[in-house]
Amino acid sequence: MIPPRSFWVPLIALWIGLFVWGTEAWAETVYVHAKTAQLRAGKTSLDAVVGNVKFGESLEVVGRDGSWMEVKTSAGTRGWIFANKTSTSKPSGGNDTLARLGQSMRGGDASATTASAGARGLDKASEGYADRAGVSARDREVVDRMTAYQIPDQDVEEFMREGGLGEYAK
């Protein structure tokens, strides 16, 4: 004898609930490890951009296909991202990372402010060192210009597209 419908409905609901809960509990999370990245409607760099994500943002992996991952943001936006723009480890420090690197390179004797300021150009402590080391004003100016120069994201994207680099590799 087959059990009545009143027996099967709760059992099926329980099974579906466990399945949904289980997939949520086992969902993989990745973090954006690029300054910015684009979520696309498909698995190519020519597909429409459906969203932008920033460094450190967490993404839930929905699916994978080759070097591309289908992800969902915390706001619910779904799209595809090139896998090398993500990592399974959460980035730490954000903008402080550069300051900590500067401190480690100088043996920890620099403050976070000095290290990050030095990364943007010659600060007062760096100027003192340059004076003692005999670095010319011309060379200091060149360093300041180089550190101030920024390449727009759109130019980098075009360069990668033309050279078939990164997510545009064939």
Together in a domain, 82 and 102: no
Domain-ending residue, one of 40, 68, 87: 87
- Residues above pLDDT 90, as percent of the chain: 24
In order, the DSSP letters of 134-166 are T--HHHHHHHHHHHH----HHHHHHHHHHHT-G
Q: In terms of domains, do 102 and 153 share one?
A: yes
Provide the 3-class DSSP secondary structure of residue 116. helix
By residue count, the chain amounts to 170
Residue 116 is assigned to a structural domain of this protein = yes
**pLDDT tens, 75-96?**
999 999 999 899 998 887 544 5
Name the residue range of residue 49's domain: 26-87
Q: What is the CATH number of the domain that holds 32?
A: 2.30.30.40
Q: Tell whether pTM > 0.85.
A: no
Instruction: Give the residue-averaged pLDDT of 57-68.
Output: 92
Co-location of 32 and 78 in the same domain: yes
pLDDT digits (tens, 9 = 90+) for 113-129: 444 444 445 566 677 77
Query: Is the pLDDT confidence value at 61 over 90?
Result: yes
Whether 31 maps to a domain, the answer reads: yes
